[in-house]
Amino acid sequence: MNQAQRIFELSRMQNPLISSGVGKNIFSFASGKGGTGKTFLSLNTSIALSAMNKKVLLIDMDFNFSNIHILLNYNPDLTFIKYFRGDALLSQLIVNYSENLDIIFGDSGKRDYPKLNEMKIKSMFAQINRMSADYDYVIIDCASGGSEENLEIMKNSGNVFIVITPEPTSIMDGYVLVKLINSYSNEINKIAVVNKASETEEGKNAYENFNKATGHFLKETVESGGIIETSKEVSESVISQVPFIIKNPNHKITYQIYQFSSKIQKIAQLANNNH
């Protein structure tokens, strides 16, 4: 039995009722390609939920291209590499960022980063599901794209926000990601979020065009998670490495992020009611 299997068995022994099944309060943020602002949105949404007095665990699963620590101007000592090398349980990587927000950080640019397979991801989610009982929400920032590794993470998350922008290439990439998700699993709840809209109307048009593609080719309408606009203050917050809603508490986009966070609460509540 290798180290990953031993960690998996240890997590099962600690709580035999927990398996690698899907958690109702686990949400992944995904995109067809990079540049959609997915990490910006997952971070600021996590902060918003925590400000709404919800206990949140944010996990950076863009494993070797992680950015959450950069957006926070934070240099973590504990990262995923320790878990994948068998040096720590996932719970031992948790860093308390604020009163209601904990974070598990990823890595950047490690040459010997281990490759993941289905067993390793299920082993990881066995621990995430166990930890999720201590949180209202678990937010996962996925890597971009539809790799098998990413799709397995989405499958184990259960709820996936597909982040698109109004650009035609982003809309098409989002459609392709939905197609890949559907070919991989029919158990994934998909919600589309339009980010970086110049105005609300542009965001609405982007969502409609996205659903025209999914409706025509996949015979599927993807639920809307909302529209988040963009502004020069978004770039300024990224450059200053201060989360947007902290730097701009009264901005229109901050209000939109809080609206989106309320949508997450409604989705989770509906899932629990139907369970």
In tens, the pLDDT along 50-69 reads 999 999 999 999 988 999 99
Instruction: Provide the 10 A C-beta neighbour count for residue 181.
Output: 21
- Domains of the chain are 3-274 (3.40.50.300)
pTM for the structure as a whole: 0.91
| pLDDT for the residue 5 | 47
Contact indicator for 234, 203 with CB cutoff of 8 Å: no
> What is the arithmetic mean of pLDDT over 190-206?
98
| pLDDT for the residue 31 | 97
Distance (Å, whole) CA 117 – CA 133: 25
In tens, the pLDDT along 108-129 reads 888 888 888 999 999 999 999 9
Distance (Å, whole) CA 20 – CA 125: 5
SS3 of the chain: the string is CCHHHHHHHHHHHHCCCCCCCCCCCEEEEECCCCCCCHHHHHHHHHHHHHHCCCCEEEEEECCCECCHHHHCCCCCCCEHHHHHCCCCCHHHHCEEEECCEEEEECCECCCCCCCCCHHHHHHHHHHHHHHHCCCCEEEEEECCCCCHHHHHHHHHHCEEEEEECCCHHHHHHHHHHHHHHHHHCCCCEEEEEEEEECCHHHHHHHHHHHHHHHHHHHCCCCEEEEEEECCHHHHHHHHHCCCHHHHCCCCHHHHHHHHHHHHHHHHHHHHHHHC
Query: How many alpha carbons fall within 13 Å on the CB side of residue 120?
Result: 16
Contact indicator for 126, 20 with CB cutoff of 8 Å: yes
> How does residue 22 score in pLDDT terms, banded at 50, 70 and 90?
low
| pLDDT for the residue 275 | 59
For residue 14, is pLDDT > 70?
A: no
